[in-house]
Chains A and B, each alone.
Chain A
């Protein structure tokens, strides 16, 4: 058991999977000597060799296509994007190539690629702070994993690397340093199914949230306990395939639901969660579903970014109070 950060969790997951399967490789910019833009590949090249850490020119379209090419020979590439916002540059070869690789071969060709996408607010402005999970979600063939806590980060990154399909693995820069105790031999889930978990139990309101919005929701719930409001919080962890059982059970219990994420509400992934809850639990709802998201505008640079752009603890508390009123 050791206390590790999200950053360390990614590093340890890579070490474990590199040792387990010599077909696991990393493709990206400055991933070798430097260990990637954020450093989570630190030490991998020294231990496993330069052949498995493919430093690429700044050419996301070609290195995303390159990754697909390696899977045809049995490799399992981890493709790193410096910022999730840059996924647009490689998107063609994720959406048009990787997502279709299995179907176009009549089910024969696997495409086990993990795309690492550090996303979200962090005072970096309009082109380095966006949340991209919804952009990726309207695409059969793709799986989406979005963990928040170091333990989930480690085991679900390992599960994603072992998965035979392209997995968009999204995590938030603002909580890179978030720490928790993680057992040394954390079991790796056999699939990405049934991934969601109840982070906090409660009886009055259900919150579904992930990443920093989840951290803020937990804080809000804690503070509201003093006001006598009991909040239950669900972390989906995997957005596609989305595990709905726990969130449906929770909503049936509380009759009230708040969904929180940093991406803007319009077209955000909360729309999908909200729709599923409405389709399946409408009769159990005492109040309409409420969603909180980022501002409907480009993200401002600097401190304004985090102060005004994303759902804050106070805003979450206000919505919960309104729901139970």
Chain B
């Protein structure tokens, strides 16, 4: 696939956006504005940019993407539902996408393509396979569902069961495994006796491929193809290999279980810097553009969060509203 210069620059914006989302999130947690064990995206921005590019490209082509990103997918989440409703939810404000009571792990807005995210990660694939079946049953051929897992969740029995069911019913779904090498504090070598987690798709007769998740162009190309395949009745799996820079969540001391000497040479593996260098070599950007685009994206994010902070939090009556627990009379 040949990407246009405009597309390459669009990705440049997204990869910087993803970096800024992580940096600002870290800042707001450390300054006490956002609470909870939040999982930072640092090191996985290439994947985020590629997935966002696929989402935006699909929208331009009239394809509806349904997915439920979580934890390190903050950039994708906010692009799916809008930055303001995303940030307000993170800040536990009434104007958040779910009224400020769902937080990072449980966001949803089906209308905007955000299927319910689950704090317990394993069941997501089964849920999404059910939604994909419904799309197919309703003849919605312009839609595709992504199920985004980590390497850890892909060891759950649910993963096998959902792949099996999706393949049996030939639903329009792409199984995405983000393999960052760590299931919390457990290295992938202790989770799976295989080199590539994409092998697991074969057990359901599905195609599974492994892609370098640090390269946003490779991510975009792989996902466009995976979407096409899924929409033609062949659910399939794409594994993206990335590197998690920090601990499992902010505050997790990974020094006790991980050799972190790689952190001294981050420039070599930094997906943002590497993509910048690529466009620099192509003459598409100048050296100073990296800081400029970064600062532009950061300003957008900061403004939204600052606006969010001044908004009202839900009242006790809104938090404990029985109509949010049961639909009918109770």
Task: Give residues in A with beta carbon < 8 Å to B.
Answer: 51, 54, 56-57, 59, 61-70, 72-75, 92-93, 96-97, 100-110, 140-141, 143, 163-165, 191-193, 241
Min CB distance A57 to B, Å, is: 6
Q: How far is the CA of A64 from the CA of B134 in the complex (A)?
A: 14
Whether B324 and A62, one on each chain, are in contact in the complex, defined by CB atoms closer than 8 angstroms, is no
**Interface size of B as a range:** 35 or more
Min CB distance B39 to A, Å, is: 18
Whether A62 and B108, one on each chain, are in contact in the complex, defined by CB atoms closer than 8 angstroms, is no
Q: Which listed residue (B122, B128, B164) contacts A57, Cβ 8 A?
A: B164
- Which residues 95-110 of B sit at the A interface, judged by CB distance below 8 A? 97-99, 101-102, 106, 108-110
Whether B328 and A109, one on each chain, are in contact in the complex, defined by CB atoms closer than 8 angstroms, is no
Say yes or no: A61-B123 contact (C-beta < 8 A), given A107-B323, A141-B326, A165-B328. yes
Task: Give residues in B with beta carbon < 8 Å to A.
Answer: 97-99, 101-102, 106, 108-110, 115-116, 118-120, 122-135, 137-138, 157-158, 161-162, 164-165, 168-169, 321, 323-330
Q: How far is the CA of A60 from the CA of B231 in the complex (A)?
A: 26
Which residues from B are CB-within-8-Å of A62?
123, 125-126, 129, 158, 161-162, 164-165
Whether B165 and A59, one on each chain, are in contact in the complex, defined by CB atoms closer than 8 angstroms, is yes
Whether B101 and A103, one on each chain, are in contact in the complex, defined by CB atoms closer than 8 angstroms, is yes
Q: Which listed residue (B98, B323, B327, B330) contacts A104, Cβ 8 A?
A: B98
Whose C-beta in chain B lies nearest to the C-beta of A103? Answer: B324
Which residues from A are CB-within-8-Å of B138?
73
Whether B116 and A164, one on each chain, are in contact in the complex, defined by CB atoms closer than 8 angstroms, is no
Whether A69 and B115, one on each chain, are in contact in the complex, defined by CB atoms closer than 8 angstroms, is yes
Q: How far is the CA of A106 from the CA of B130 in the complex (A)?
A: 22
Whether A97 and B165, one on each chain, are in contact in the complex, defined by CB atoms closer than 8 angstroms, is no
Min CB distance B44 to A, Å, is: 25
Q: How far is the CA of A165 from the CA of B330 in the complex (A)?
A: 10
Whose C-beta in chain A lies nearest to the C-beta of B118? Answer: A97
Whether A69 and B133, one on each chain, are in contact in the complex, defined by CB atoms closer than 8 angstroms, is yes
Whose C-beta in chain B lies nearest to the C-beta of A56? Answer: B165
Q: Which listed residue (A68, A109, A164) contacts B130, Cβ 8 A?
A: A68
Which residues from A are CB-within-8-Å of B108?
104-105, 108-109
Min CB distance B96 to A, Å, is: 8
17 pairs, A vs B, C-beta closer than 8 Å: A62-B123, A65-B123, A65-B124, A65-B126, A65-B129, A66-B130, A69-B134, A96-B119, A101-B116, A105-B102, A106-B101, A107-B321, A143-B326, A164-B327, A165-B326, A191-B328, A192-B328
Whether A57 and B101, one on each chain, are in contact in the complex, defined by CB atoms closer than 8 angstroms, is no
